[in-house]
Structure 1
Amino acid sequence: MNKSQREVVATALEILDEGGLEAVSLRAIAERRGVRMNTVVWHVKSKGRLLELMADAIVAEAGLNDLPARWDHRAAELLARYRRALLAHHDGAAVVGGTYAPEPATLAIAETLMAALLEGGYHDQEAVWTCWNTLYFTLGLCREEQAISSAEPDRLTEAVTSGAFPALHRTLPHLLQPSFDDRFTYGLQRLLNLPATAPR
């Protein structure tokens, strides 16, 4: 990104954090920056392109410095940073999950994760699919965490206790205690075959 694009994206992220994804628009950015909308369009071309640049800026916040040397700990730490970057912004997972952006930071995250998996002995196709699965799992869990409301447990209890869902009814106490940190750790352990002591 050039300097002007970075400034537009920074403003877009401010609006995102204040009002969520629905509040982000080229017009809102122009108003915030005190410029004409054509000026914003000149720098980012379209709302779709803006979202791609926003997604890459969010992903860039994960950072690649000082990752663990061991491949499995490196993969787990990288995905934990990716998750924190998504959760650091209102609707961050929705922005990133709603784009397909082969941008520098996004590619750097994928490259680092893929290299760790290959170092761990995954063959090429297995490394690709595991990379996808871990990133999609992280994105999906973050989208749920950012979207869930305080009313969800009551709605779930009411729906499940109707008698039509015996398996869900049996496991309801666990469904009602969604520790997203624990679910994330467990999911990575299963997807990467990590020991229970692997770092978050």
Structure 2
Amino acid sequence: MARLDRAAVIAGAWDFVEAHGLDALTMRKLASSLGVNHGTLYWHVENKRALVDALAEDLLAGVADVDPAHQGADRLIALAGRLRSALLSHRDGARVMAGTFVRQPNTLAFGEAAIAAARAAGAQSADAALAAFSVQYFVLGFTIEEQAHQQLTAADAQPTDTADTTDFDADRFPLVASALDTMREIPRDAQFDYGVRQLVRSLRFTERRGRSD
């Protein structure tokens, strides 16, 4: 194989996760899949936590690249969509991102873009921070559930999802049964778009047209 470097380790880790899932990833198993000695990996990543952080940073490459000329609320919605797409680009992408506290360029650029968008939409310092992180938390939660459902379906398991109304007493819980029937008819993309737009709208920003931060 070609000379091992950090980029090859990250690419190999993604290949492993795609094939086996995040839970199966260990430094030893990754080394074996790359055909190198276990200790060789530590020249590039110090431990599994650092490896997962590197995967999270890799996921966010280019995600912050939204048009700064657009209104702040629209930019925040666009960033949410770009983040979801990035997380869905790899198996367990949302789980990779959740719980990491990466302070690297791609991650910082996304945070900077989200906070700037919130500020452009009229939020002051503290509210802008809360808004940016609230949007990120929504995207992570939505996408974790979305990917979990995808994996259950792929494994031919019986998912407990919005399409399943047969495993409980619908007469006792008629509103839930009706809601699940409704959700079954709404595509995931539309569910996500509704949620993120409602969240951004609820922040009650007043757009500062033509004003830069």
TM-score range for the pair, normalised by the shorter chain length = 0.7 to 0.9
Counterpart pick for 1:187 among 183, 189, 195: 195
Paired residues of 1:86 and 1:93 also in contact (CA < 8 A): yes
Summarize the alignment of residues 3-152 of structure 1 with structure 2, pairs less than 5 Å apart. 4-64=5-65, 66=67, 69-148=70-149, 149-150=152-153, 151-152=158-159
The runs of at least 4 aligned residues of structure 1 exceeding 6 Å deviation read none
Supply the AA of the counterpart residue of 2:10.
V
Aligned equivalent of 1:169: 177
| Mapped partners of 2:93, 2:131: distance in 1 | 22
Letter in 2 for 1:5: R
Q: Which runs of 5+ in 2 are unaligned?
A: 203-213
* Alpha-carbon offset, residue 178 of structure 1: 5.1
Q: Which structure 1 residue ranges, 5 or more long, are not aligned?
A: 195-200
- TM-fit CA distance, 1:124: 1.5
Letter in 1 for 2:86: A
Alignment length (residue pairs): 192
Name the structure 1 match of 2:205: none
SS in 1 for 2:44: helix
Q: TM-score, normalised by structure 2?
A: 0.80
Task: Label 1:122 to 1:158 Cα distance change in 2 as closer, same or farther (>3 A).
Answer: same
Q: Residue 83 of structure 1: SS of its match in structure 2?
A: helix
Cα distance in 1, alignment partners of residues 45 and 118 from structure 2:
35
Aligned-pair CA distance for 1:24: 2.0
8 Å contact kept, 1:160–1:168: no
Higher helix share: 1
What TM-score do the two structures reach when normalised by structure 1? Answer: 0.85
| Contact 1:94/1:143, CA 8 A, preserved across alignment | yes
